Amino acid sequence: MHAIGVREASERTGLSAHTLRYYERAGLIGPVRREASGKRTYSEKDLLWLAFLRRLRATGMSVAQMRQFATLRAAGDATTGDRRRLLEVHAEFIRGQIDTLAENLEIVERKIEHFRQEERDATTVAGRITLRRPRRQATVKNVSVRSQP
């Protein structure tokens, strides 16, 4: 069984070696087992946990929240309820992000369509290059961008 050092852990979790040490300092995983020489040795369980942390980060969880979660985890089996609730809240948060992105994506796509239309207007008319009159909001029906407060 070979020892998994910080380099391999980095490769396998997608977190830089610097970040792995930082996460330990930050209380997200600590303390990792060491070899006699002082070098970190990650277990497979550590790697799974780090990979999961990475997913939490990738979905917008702050380091502070991850630390909270990690602390509960470290406290043992009695905290699974708390951890579940924390994840439920986070799942809802992720769904919100997805919805927001989808909504904004639609608007960006509409804008792209709008530009395509402008480009067609500007270059066509039987190959002649034309000065087109500025079009007010036209073409695509109901392009009214609503602002949210």
Which residue from 78, 8, 92 is spatially nearest to 50, judged by alpha carbons? 8
Q: Is 29 exposed, middle or buried (0-12, 13-18, 19+ CB in 10 A)?
A: buried
Per-position x/- string for 61-90, each x denoting binding to its own copies as judged by CB under 8 A, each - no binding:
----------------x--xx-xx--xx-x
Binding mask of the shown chain, residues 82 to 121, with x at each position contacting DNA by CB under 7 A: ----------------------------------------
Q: How far is CA 4 from CA 1, 12, 46, in A?
A: 9, 10, 10
What's the angle, vertex CA 112, arms to CA 111 and CA 114, rounded to 5? 60
Closer CB to DNA, residue 5 or residue 52?
5
What would the x/- binding string for DNA be over residues 6 to 35, using CB under 7 A? Answer: xxx-------xxxx-xx-----------x-
Residue ranges that bind its own copies, judged by CB under 8 A: 11-14, 16, 44-45, 47-48, 50-52, 54-56, 58-59, 77, 80-81, 83-84, 87-88, 90-91, 94-95, 97-98, 100-102, 104-105, 107-109, 111-112, 115-116, 118-119, 122, 134, 137, 140, 143-149
